[in-house]
Structure 1
Amino acid sequence: MEVFLQPGEVGAGSSGHVFKTLLGSCVSITLWHPRRRVGAMSHFLLPTRNQPPGKELDGRYADEAVPLMRRHLMRLGVDPMECQAKIFGGGRMFASESQSGALAVGRRNGDVARELLNAQGIVVVAEDLFGYGHRKLVFDVATGDVWSCQVQPGDPDLQGAQ
């Protein structure tokens, strides 16, 4: 089953699932259990909310997307602590954007993803973060492979990326 994650969505599934997304300054985390061949993927926009969280967790925010992923995995009978993590995205979307300026949301997203996973004791085995432009991402839950292709803004390959 092929699933395209929109910004703010989290998905989980077994070996028949392939998750895809398109990232700009957003970040995606994948969690994969190698023995059970079960995984989860997020597509978050911001590190955290600027206000107290609502009643429901919201996948648009990193600090809520990770608990959502954990919840989905536990429902599938997988301990998230036994998963391997990979992190992708956090690109600069404008050539004039500073890596450390107020607009560097991609940098903040990538940094907070690392911090959240480290704080939970989840091992990060690979990452493809930052740089300039978008990333097309494909996560095959059967193998745990994640393909990341970075493309510059305005690249015609972004047409029909879904």
Structure 2
Amino acid sequence: MEKDTQGYPKVFLQTGDCYLAVQPTLVNTVLGSCLAVTMHSPKHGIGAICHAFLPDSSDNKRPGVSTIQPCRFVDTALETMLDSMKKLKIPKSDLVVKMFGGASGIAVRGMEYSSYDIGRRNVEMARKLLKFAGLDISVTDVGGNQGRKLLFLSNTGEVWLKRLTKNTFDKESMLTGRR
């Protein structure tokens, strides 16, 4: 990392969680087929991130689960993040959106299409909902068959990404996607 991030509070984002940071925070998470979407307002220095596990809460047949853990699903995670930004009076036009993860599992690698490809379905759901909300995605690193480790600096919107291999981190890149 180029910046000194030592002074920031650190949060590990679990699967099915969202985090809204009104104070500068370094959020990290590890993704496979799960999807992380970040939203950042450069004007306000506020950021949010989700770690969604499944694409659609309507697929969930157990009552009440989506209300207990709304960020478990891409649809309800994005709704939660957008509602939080709205409550903070941050207009959608101020948001810079980035998307990461959605890797395919080993069982579907090499297949052209599979309904079990949760990673692909997560990405498709996010793209559809963000487009419907009128939001552009400034940076994406999605798909493939490698997991990713992500670091998100909430006040700047910067994201550092490492692709995971079987034994170690394979590739490092810095994705800022600033306007």
Same fold (TM over 0.5): yes
TM-score by structure 2 length?
A: 0.79
Residue 139 (str. 1) matches residue 147 (str. 2): no
Q: Tell me what 1:101 maps to.
A: 114
Q: Tell me what 2:6 maps to.
A: none
SS in 1 for 2:106: coil
Gaps of at least 5 residues in structure 1 are: none
Choose from 97, 101, 105 the match for 1:85: 97
1:97-138 Cα deviation digits (max 9, x unpaired): 325113211011111111111100112111000011210001
1:121-156 Cα deviation digits (max 9, x unpaired): 11211100001121000111122111111112x224
Q: Tell me what 1:4 maps to.
A: 12
Amino acid at match of 1:60: R
**Displacement, 1:2?**
1.1
**Displacement, 1:15?**
4.6
TM-score by structure 1 length?
A: 0.87
**Displacement, 1:95?**
6.4
Kept after mapping to 2: 8 A contact 1:14/1:38:
yes
Choose from 21, 41, 65 the match for 1:33: 41
- % identity of equivalent residues: 31
Distance of 1:122 and 1:99 partners within structure 2: 28
SS in 1 for 2:71: coil
SS in 2 for 1:59: helix
Change (3 A) 1:69 1:29: same
CA radius of gyration, larger in: 2
1:21-57 Cα deviation digits (max 9, x unpaired): 0000000000000111101000001111314673726
Distance of 1:3 and 1:115 partners within structure 2: 29
Please give the root-mean-square deviation of Cα atoms over the aligned residues, in Å. Answer: 2.1
SS in 2 for 1:29: strand
Gaps of at least 5 residues in structure 2 are: 1-8, 171-179
Kept after mapping to 1: 8 A contact 2:43/2:94:
no
**Displacement, 1:14?**
2.8
Residue 73 (str. 1) matches residue 85 (str. 2): yes
Kept after mapping to 2: 8 A contact 1:95/1:132:
no
Q: Tell me what 1:129 maps to.
A: 142
SS in 1 for 2:84: helix
Distance of 1:2 and 1:79 partners within structure 2: 27
